[in-house]
Structure 1
Amino acid sequence: MLGYILKRILAMVPTLFGMSLISFLIIQLPPGDYLTSLLSSWSDNGQPIDPAQIERLRAQYGFDQPFYVQYWKWMSGILFRGDFGYSFDWNQPVAGLIWDRMGSTLAISVLSLLFVWAVSLPIGIYSAVRRHSVGDHVFTFLGFLGLAIPNFIFALTLMYLCYRYLGQSVGGLYSPEYADAPWSWGKAGDLLAHLWIPVVVIGTSGTAALIRILRANLTDELNKPYVVTARAKGLPEHRLVLRYPLRIALNPFISAIGWVLPHLVSGVTITAIVLNLPTAGPLLLRALVSQDMYLAGSFILLLSALTLVGMLVSDLLLALLDPRIRFS
């Protein structure tokens, strides 16, 4: 297994290099650059624009250099100095902006993933074992409802209910009095009081989808000959379901890690904006709109790395879970 892991890690290096090159190229494909957006903003505000100042800014930001020079400047900084470049829009290093947002982003993402698994696993098992029962129909209806309702609509509804009936301040991760306060038990409790809203909102659609997948896979496994044989030999139903068919039906849960991690970081941008969450999604959206190439490129590179790490973790867990899978 160690040799397989090392081989996969080595294969990640050229993959990340190719992803960084493609993402940097795509960011620069739209006409104009950050300076174009900046000049447009100045023009809308009626601020005079001096051609000499434009040339000076273009040289200052490095936009007068060819694409490959800009790319090498960015990649060499990452490889040799751990420097992800400088954000034109925020006027500060990209690394500081990313790490400031990644703490809350990863916390919400991990908790949302745990919520998805904790809810969808027992419901999916129940729906498969008790097919066409009243409970199965209820959970099926709720699952389709969860898939149909957009996350940001659910977020707005939940925010209104919390404010109207619970008297809780909505939006963000802290109440106004704790936003800039030092850490204390009161601030930790206030964080927990706010954290459940984005976790439930973000996890709802993923929960609904995995319930349907697990129900379908487990239903298919329960009808196979080895299950019928084990049941005929008198194996208790709960042991039969948990020991054999469930292990195979869990494959979608494990294989989903590869895409769930980057999706939870960047795929809930609208929801994060509605809930006013200090996560990576809104920052990435602003970087793309303003064509802040180093900030946007660094975020896309980070999401690519998360995807590759998630795929490696899911492959290893699949091999441990399913005896049919071998590294050879």
Structure 2
Amino acid sequence: MLMVPTMLVVSVIVFTLVQLPPGDFAEMRVARLEMEGTAASEELAADLRKNFRLDEPMWKRYARWMGFTWFTSFHPQDTGLLQGNLGISMEHEKPAREVLGDRIVLTVVVSAATVLFTWLFALPTGIYSAVRQYSPGDYVLTFIGFLGVSVPSFLFALVLMYLARRWFGLSIAGLFSPEFATMPGWTWAKFVDLIEHLWLPVLVLGFGASAGMIRVMRANLLDELKKPYVTTARAKGVRPLRLLLKYPVRLALNPFISSVGGLFPHLVSGGAIVAMVLSLPMVGPTLVDALVAEDVYLAGSLLMVLSLLGVVGTLCSDLLLLWLDPRIRLGGGAT
């Protein structure tokens, strides 16, 4: 229930922030045309403002963008985000859904695969690093973790591209081979080609995220292993593996799972530069271009989608925490 007012407040903030830069889309279009040597005039700017309703008050444009106007007219042209309409892209002069195309699907696939890779790698690695504290393996994993946290993802991508070109003569950019990059629709061969190219963005995006979560898991588990109930269970003869997995690991997962809520939108927004470096058809570069061009409706709709993913991710992490640790309740403060 809290998601509804939360998203309403977020929509107001997003619609306001994307319009904070001086000027508007009409001024940006005229300035760009003049830089390209094309004649432009104030009449063109006025026509653009009229066509995209930039001359209307902000509250009216917000109501139309959100779809509140539709509830008074029920006209198809007044649909907005509430009706599933992402709006019109002013830069491309066509619906935002057509501009995005398969970018949203590919972004979800890459991000979901990255989250899965992060969990499958960070969870056992963090457990091993905590159980084998100060061992050679722990030092190696700690060093790798520091590298993952300190090295920017786009720089890691550039290094991998250089090594692949230098040693193997391969171009590993993109999510598809050239014959499938421009193919409309989906076939089995195109899906297999996507899987073959998916490992690089997953590795690049998941390397930094895994490094941070390894450190979190290691620190949480070390705190649990030092508590009296672990010592008592060992003294009673509980098998080490059963003790480790049933109690300390389960409790150490709480902060680990709570970070899931912000992981997915972080991968989408934070991976924009990586997507540009690797030529990935994802929503990150589209969002950056829309913000630069002051394409208010496209940028605002994409930011709302990211915000919705964050809120839904937080809800999922809360439900996972309730399942993992029954002591956590909304009324947990009551005695």
Please classify the TM superposition score into its range, dividing by the shorter chain length: over 0.9
1:299 paired with 2:290, answer: no
Tell me how far apart the structure 2 counterparts of residues 18 and 312 of structure 1 sit (CA, whole Å).
Answer: 17
AA paired with 1:34?
Answer: F
Query: Contact between 1:159 and 1:171, CA under 8 Å: does it hold in 2?
Result: yes
Match of 2:272 among 269, 279, 301: 269
Structure 2, gaps ≥5 residues long: 68-78
Distance 1:320 1:81, change over 3 A: closer
| Cα drift, residue 98 of structure 1 | 3.8
Once the two structures are superposed, residues 57-105 of structure 1 have per-residue CA deviations (whole angstroms, 9 ceiling, x without a partner) of 2211211111111111111122564322110111210133345311000
Query: Contact between 1:112 and 1:200, CA under 8 Å: does it hold in 2?
Result: yes
Query: Contact between 1:169 and 1:175, CA under 8 Å: does it hold in 2?
Result: no
AA paired with 2:178?
Answer: P
AA paired with 1:95?
Answer: R
**Higher alpha-carbon deviation: 69-78 or 231-240:** 69-78
Q: How does 1:202-241 map to 2 (within 5 A)?
A: 202-241=205-244
Structure 1, gaps ≥5 residues long: 1-9
| Cα drift, residue 305 of structure 1 | 0.8
Residue in 2 that maps onto 1:94:
96
Distance 1:51 1:223, change over 3 A: closer
Query: Contact between 1:319 and 1:327, CA under 8 Å: does it hold in 2?
Result: no
| Cα drift, residue 184 of structure 1 | 4.7
AA paired with 1:145?
Answer: L
AA paired with 2:144?
Answer: L
Matched pairs, number: 319
Residue in 2 that maps onto 1:36:
27
- Structure that is richer in helix per residue: 1
**Higher alpha-carbon deviation: 300-309 or 286-295:** 300-309
Tell me how far apart the structure 1 counterparts of residues 187 and 292 of structure 2 sit (CA, whole Å).
Answer: 37
Tell me how far apart the structure 1 counterparts of residues 131 and 154 of structure 2 sit (CA, whole Å).
Answer: 33
1:16 paired with 2:7, answer: yes
RMSD of aligned Cα (Å): 1.5
Tell me how far apart the structure 1 counterparts of residues 309 and 189 of structure 2 sit (CA, whole Å).
Answer: 33
Residue in 1 that maps onto 2:284:
281
Query: Contact between 1:98 and 1:299, CA under 8 Å: does it hold in 2?
Result: no
| Cα drift, residue 183 of structure 1 | 4.5
SS in 1 for 2:174: coil
Residue in 1 that maps onto 2:179:
177
Match of 1:198 among 201, 215, 218: 201
TM-score under structure 1 normalisation? 0.93
**Higher alpha-carbon deviation: 287-296 or 168-177:** 168-177
Tell me how far apart the structure 1 counterparts of residues 285 and 25 of structure 2 sit (CA, whole Å).
Answer: 17
Query: Contact between 1:174 and 1:190, CA under 8 Å: does it hold in 2?
Result: yes
1:259 paired with 2:262, answer: yes
| Cα drift, residue 239 of structure 1 | 0.7
Tell me how far apart the structure 2 counterparts of residues 44 and 327 of structure 1 sit (CA, whole Å).
Answer: 58
| Cα drift, residue 139 of structure 1 | 0.5
| Cα drift, residue 317 of structure 1 | 0.5
- Work out the percentage of aligned pairs sharing the same amino acid: 49
Query: Contact between 2:89 and 2:295, CA under 8 Å: does it hold in 1?
Result: yes
Tell me how far apart the structure 2 counterparts of residues 189 and 84 of structure 1 sit (CA, whole Å).
Answer: 30
Match of 2:246 among 219, 230, 243: 243
Query: Contact between 2:89 and 2:297, CA under 8 Å: does it hold in 1?
Result: yes
Distance 1:322 1:99, change over 3 A: farther
TM-score under structure 2 normalisation? 0.91
AA paired with 2:136?
Answer: V
Tell me how far apart the structure 2 counterparts of residues 45 and 79 of structure 1 sit (CA, whole Å).
Answer: 35
Once the two structures are superposed, residues 181-218 of structure 1 have per-residue CA deviations (whole angstroms, 9 ceiling, x without a partner) of 47555433332221100000000011000111111110
Distance 1:36 1:180, change over 3 A: same
| Cα drift, residue 175 of structure 1 | 1.4
